[in-house]
Structure 1
Amino acid sequence: MQDDSILTQEELDFLRSLQDNQKPDPLPVGLLLEGGKQAKELLARLAAHEQLTIEAHIDSQRITFPLHVIEDEFHALHLQLGTPTIVEQTSADRPWRLPLDPPVNLVDEHGEPSLIWLHAVSQSGMLVEVRGQPVPKRFSLWLPIPGRQPIALQGILARKAGEGLTAYRQSLRKTRHSERLRSFILEQHQQLHGHEAESR
């Protein structure tokens, strides 16, 4: 039977965790747009033709939230925040990599362990360790997450990265799995940086 639900259980749990978060000033999911008629019309025109974003720069990282302009039944405009992307700002900007320590053994479609271990993952790439087999040019495996549905990962060989690791590009198109991966990376980023802030 086909699942017609719009959100996965993981996405629902993530949204509930945002609502249940007791930290002061939680980030709102939607914002009412105030301003004059001309400003609203300009913003609506821009949103129809371009991607609108809000950026934050924190600890040499750029966090970019996509914005969607929504008109309600009273013709009021609201800004709705999408899932952000996180980029490390170095000499060459790249998507932030979530380090996995210890590395995670990727599994096949049946949940059986593979010979590939994931050391770091971003929205656009992965650092993996291949054990006991030649380094494949491509792979399609799953990232197991305890208590949740696994996330599909599709890698295309990019280069040897040193220390026994190999870099792969993510070949996932914009799908439910790519959005679940983005949400997972964001969730882990919040946990890592929340712990860092608490320890200061």
Structure 2
Amino acid sequence: MQDESILTHDELQFIRELQNAPRPADPPTTALLVDGGERTKELLARLAVHEHLTIEAQIDNQRVSFPVHLVEDEFHALHVQLGLPTIVEQAAANRPWRLPFPEPLALLDADGKASGLWLHSLSQSGLLVEVRDRPIPKRFTLWMPVPDAQPIELRGTLIRETEQHLIAYRLSQHKVRQHERLRKFILDHHPQLNELTDGPL
């Protein structure tokens, strides 16, 4: 009777060896684990429901605060998830850290044209602009161009004029997605945080 086997004896032996070979160890994963026992987990869970939890770090004269969220997985285990941090400069009066621009950046109107407002520095709650060739607006909705991405919408309300003849505006609350994009843009350009993380957050 003719042997109808597709694989040769050597090929079968090779496959058996592969099946019986020890499996390589799983590659190490980067994870943030919190181990404090059952009472600590219960306390964290109760606090997360009723309070605003943060993890804070001090970098020179800046306080970096990460919002903490507890996330339950499919096995009902709790995991700590960190949100984008807030950076505050600590001085006589604390204020959000400002990202300075080496060259003023033209803010754009709804048609994508330069608006006459030029951005000098930006924080998560406000901005300093130079107003050129137009009256100083009490409020504005303009867009900040971002390389290789959609512009970020900014809504400002006039606060005051500075000694350097720049105009300070408070950023109004706007769409959550735009606010998160703004925070990420500022954090991606924070030099000390990028040194700690070897790149944008």
TM-score category, normalised to shorter length: 0.7 to 0.9
Q: Deviations over 1:10-29 (max 9, x none)?
A: xxxxxxxxxxxxxxxxxx98
Question: Partner of 1:84 in structure 2?
Answer: 85
Find the aligned partners of 2:57 and 2:192 in 1 and give their Cα distance: 18
Deviation at 1:76, TM superposition (A): 1.8
Task: Tell me how far apart the structure 2 counterparts of residues 129 and 154 of structure 1 sit (CA, whole Å).
Answer: 16
Q: In structure 1, what residue type is equivalent to 2:51?
A: E
Q: Which runs of 5+ in 2 are unaligned?
A: 1-28, 197-201
Counterparts of 1:94 and 1:132 in 2: how far apart (Å)?
A: 30
Q: Distance in 2 between matches of 1:151 and 1:167?
A: 18
Residues in 2 aligned to 1:40 and 1:68: alpha-carbon distance in whole angstroms: 13
Q: Residue in 2 aligned with 1:103?
A: 104
**Cα separation, 2, equivalents of 1:174 and 1:92:** 28
Q: CA deviation at 1:111?
A: 0.9
Number of residue pairs matched?
169
1:1-200 paired onto structure 2 within 5 Å: 31-173=32-174, 175-190=176-191, 194=195
Distance 1:37 1:192 in 2: 33
Change (3 A) 1:43 1:161: same
SS of 2:36 mapped into structure 1? coil
Q: CA RMSD in A?
A: 2.1
Amino acid at match of 1:118: L
Q: Which residue of 2 aligns with 1:16?
A: none
Q: Deviations over 1:129-173 (max 9, x none)?
A: 000111110010000011111101111000011222010000123
TM-score (norm 2): 0.79
Contact 1:100 1:120 in 2 (8 A): yes
Instruction: Give how far 1:175 is off.
Output: 1.3
User: Contact between 1:141 and 1:154, CA under 8 Å: does it hold in 2?
Assistant: yes
Greater than 2 Å deviation, 4+ residue runs: 28-33, 190-195
Q: Any gaps of 5 or more consecutive residues in structure 1? A: 1-27, 196-200
TM-score by length of 1: 0.79
Paired residues of 2:187 and 2:193 also in contact (CA < 8 A): no
* Larger Rg belongs to: 2
| Distance of aligned partners of 1:175 and 1:63 in 2 relative to their CA distance in 1, 3 Å threshold | same
Distance 2:93 2:171 in 1: 18
